[in-house]
Structure 1
Amino acid sequence: MELWPGAWTVLLLLLLLLLFLLPTLWFCSPSAKYFFKMAFYNGWILFLAVLAIPVCAVRGRNVENMKILRLMLLHIKYLYGIRVEVRGAHHFPPSQPYVVVSNHQSSLDLLGMMEVLPGRCVPIAKRELLWAGSAGLACWLAGVIFIDRKRTGDAISVMSEVAQTLLTQDVRVWVFPEGTRNHNGSMLPFKRGAFHLAVQAQVPIVPIVMSSYQDFYCKKERRFTSGRCQVRVLPPVPTEGLTPDDVPALADKVRHSMLTIFREISSDGRGGGDYLKKPGGVGEARL
């Protein structure tokens, strides 16, 4: 079907109106800027995943493919003017499996993770991510471990297999023990799966803390600007000789140390700024 001449005029006018409105919204509406930035962030990751898939497919499903994803994602922080500072990277054990546990604030955690991700380390993610288009396939090819959190029996079975993989294939895993994103500037209670995994495999736990994003990002306020994020790698916590009965105390100990560091690096002018003074901020968190 051909468009009559007047229709082309209408389409041209609509296009010109759109070209006028987008810059206007960008400069005049912080909320619109937030949505534009998040849409581009997610869309760009999906596009990069499309590029990564054929490269990763050469090896098939392999944890070494995570290096390819990391290389392709490292530049994103520059697009958004986010400076990521890493401290304590020397705490990573040099030549053994371990379990990384990290706080979970938003999808922007990907930036800090890629900055510090050690070799042969893959995240444990919710199974829904597997169906996230090109990103899900790229993650699968990179060896990401998917768990159905709604089916406890399956999750326990997967964790048991992961424990064996840690030891036999020299793999490290990255877990967000809060279980879900926390936008409130503190830390949710930790789920214990990561700690059971470390105890079962008798491997160390390496806590990693990312400072609050509140000086440059807030989902509730629809605010996304440039800023700084500090990533702190803490000394490994040994699990040799521990049993499942020790897991609750172990999880509480690790959470306490991480929350202490979170408060420190989120109030030193490099992470959270004055957010700690706000009601419901980190300063009001309770263990």
Structure 2
Amino acid sequence: MEFWPWLTAALLLLLLVVQLSRSARFCAKITLYCAVCLWASTVAAVICLLRHHGRTVENMRIIRWFVSKFKYIFGLRFEIKGLQKLEVDHPCVIISNHQSILDMMGGCQALSPTPPAWCPWPPAGLMEALPERCVQIAKRELIFLGPVGLIMYLGGIFFINRQHSKTAMTVMADVGKRMVRENLKVWIYPEGTRNDNGDLLPFKKGAFYLAIQTQVPIIPVIYSSFSSFYNPKTKLFSSGTIKVEVLDAIPTSGLTVADVPKLMDTCYQAMRTTFLRISKTPQENGATAGPGCQPAQ
């Protein structure tokens, strides 16, 4: 009988700490975020197996339904401009910036000072704009993350070993063949990793090689900065609005591998200009940074 008063007192104390401490609120929200991800992965995987009996891009519809509900739990709103540009009936490469766990569902080490770099769930923001027959490319380690890895596999996501360039190139070549054969859209983050520094990182070349080798257009998608409502360094995690803008498709027909640097620079400059504009971040002296040269991923 004495258990319940102690439990009630502990819960009240926890609620008080969460209300008074910004760090406690941040940890509580991240913990809830991770718990919801794991629960949704498990339930979605069961539904995918029952409905489609295995791995297929059609399972992305089920995953999209689950992930699209996360915004209500965490008070996120999306304002999307140009969504119709993604509604094409042919293969293409979609590229976008990648900032935090708000656009990638996951983060097991929720109480660590900075959320981990791996990104198990398809992006929440991506799900707001995800067109039909669209899959991602992810690092191979994610497939071993229990129900999270299972739901990624069932959704048709391509896994690459980023530590072995020859293996990664083989997978990318297979991706190119399949996207043309199966009429797939492939969503890639050309920065190669999460980035919350208020600007874009230099792009890696993999997405641009893929687009040119398959002669499919590139469609840039830009998400505004999350810094006004999500910042792990300051333990900020509140409700907020994410602006998303889809740019016009950039054709690659007739281009060759020699055109990769110019294509990469064109996409980088267009995306960076849009990112700074919709994030209301002023460009210093009107200068823009170049993408630099990095190995293909």
Partner residue of 1:174? 187
Contact 2:87 2:131 in 1 (8 A): no
2:196 & 2:253 partners in 1: Cα distance?
Answer: 34
Partner residue of 1:98? 92
Partner residue of 1:31? 23
Deviations 1:95-118 (A, max 9, x none): 100000000001211221010000
CA separation of 1:248/1:117 partners in 2, compared to 1, >3 Å: closer, same or farther?
same
Shift of 1:92: 2.1
Partner residue of 1:83? 77
Deviations 1:26-65 (A, max 9, x none): 1101111111111111210110111111211132100010
Q: Cα RMSD over matched residues?
A: 1.9
Deviations 1:173-212 (A, max 9, x none): 1001111100211111111101101111100001000000
Partner residue of 1:227? 240
1:93 & 1:78 partners in 2: Cα distance?
Answer: 25
Match of 2:221 among 198, 208, 212: 208
Partner residue of 1:142? 155
Shift of 1:15: 3.0
Partner residue of 1:50? 42
2:196 & 2:17 partners in 1: Cα distance?
Answer: 25
Partner residue of 1:3? none
Shift of 1:150: 0.9
1:182 & 1:18 partners in 2: Cα distance?
Answer: 38
Give SS of 1:106's match: coil
Give SS of 1:51's match: helix
TM-score by length of 2: 0.86
Structure 2: gaps spanning 5 or more residues: 104-122, 291-297
Q: Which has the higher helix share?
A: 1
Match of 2:128 among 115, 130, 139: 115
Q: How high is the sequence identity, in percent, across the aligned residues? A: 42
2:39 & 2:128 partners in 1: Cα distance?
Answer: 20
2:88 & 2:264 partners in 1: Cα distance?
Answer: 23
The letter for the 2-side match of 1:248 is: P
The letter for the 2-side match of 1:43 is: A
Contact 1:183 1:219 in 2 (8 A): no
Match of 1:19 among 11, 32, 51: 11
The letter for the 2-side match of 1:266 is: S
Report runs of 4+ in structure 1 exceeding 4 Å deviation: 11-14
Range with bigger deviation, 13-22 or 215-224: 13-22
TM-score by length of 1: 0.89
